[in-house]
Amino acid sequence: MTDQLGSPRIITDAFGDVVSRRDFMPFGEELAPDTTFRTAAMKYGTGDNVRQKFTGYERDDETGLDFAEARYYYNNHGRFTAVDPLLASGKSANPQTFNRYAYVMNRPLLLTDETGLQSGRKPEKEDDKVIKVYTTDPKILSVKTNYLDKTIYNDVPVGGRFEITYTYIVNAGTDGKKPEDMASIEPAPARDSKGNIDESKSPRGTLADSQNLEKTKVESEVTPNGKDEGFKVTKTETFVVKDIPERRGRDFNTAINYQVVLRDPTGEVRRVVTTDRKNLDLAISISNAPRKKTKEEEE
């Protein structure tokens, strides 16, 4: 979010979360964070990828100078580093304009100089600008389980199929990472009576390997999610319940809990939707009963 001069004061990510904050002195010096009014908890002093600083000038980190198109501006002195190359900006009606190094006639709270070629003008009135810092943080939009084969008790039988469809948003991947490869279905971790994860009892590996399933198909649809907003991905994975010999001849029903995990290109987990009290539908009920053949198969 910018102030009335166009200086970015609040930097947010693609989800509207505050990344950093900054305040400026009248001539553009950035105020250092403190322990009272500009604390680290408020995101002051936090690094970001935005180089635009005072009035939107791009700041050179090595010299501390602001790039004003025709010349550089030094905010510590409140002066440009070179004379105004636009001779017509000097007006006899306003002697202050003949100070060729002055910044906006020493009226920095009212005027701006976007190009370095004029003595200053009032900023145009417009809505707050949003400077976005695009990261690889994804967002899960929906997860749905569909039983393609089921018993009269709404369980998936042996040999039966089910599919999981999930939709998420990610920004453009880096290091060759495709948007459709940044999410996967994994077995949900085991939890104790207090809801804490029990690593010793949690299944390992992929959902198919850990739960005696066979993944038969994966379909992905990737579409741009608006200008510079990354991609919207919809994936559908189809599984078949394998036959387990030791379970034959006896009634057996179980629930397979799963989770959708999204990672950034480095492999770090960024978003997880898993089975909990709010997402009890992220579980598949499996039966030991064999799948009934369709009429076409019987013929």
pTM of the entire structure?
0.50
* Residues 215-253: tens digit of each pLDDT: 999 999 998 876 556 788 999 999 999 887 766 655 667
Same domain, 103 and 175: no
Same domain, 175 and 205: yes
Q: Provide the Cα torsion 98, 102, 106, 111; round to 10°.
A: 90
* Residues 281-291: tens digit of each pLDDT: 578 888 877 77
Measured between alpha carbons, how far is 245 from 242 in angstroms, rounded to an integer? 10
CATH for 237 = 2.60.40.10
Taking CA 217 as the corner, what is the angle to CA 136 and CA 274, rounded to the nearest 5 degrees?
50
For 188-206, what is the mean pLDDT?
80
For 131-143, what is the mean pLDDT?
62
Same domain, 4 and 92: yes
Same domain, 177 and 58: no
In the chain, the number of structural domains is: 2
Residue 24 has pLDDT above 70, yes or no: yes
Share of the chain above pLDDT 70, in %: 80
Q: What integer pLDDT is reported at residue 127 of this predicted model? A: 46
Of 142 and 275, the structure prediction assigns the larger pLDDT to 142
Model confidence at 280, pLDDT cuts 50, 70, 90, reads very low
Q: What integer pLDDT is reported at residue 158 of this predicted model? A: 87
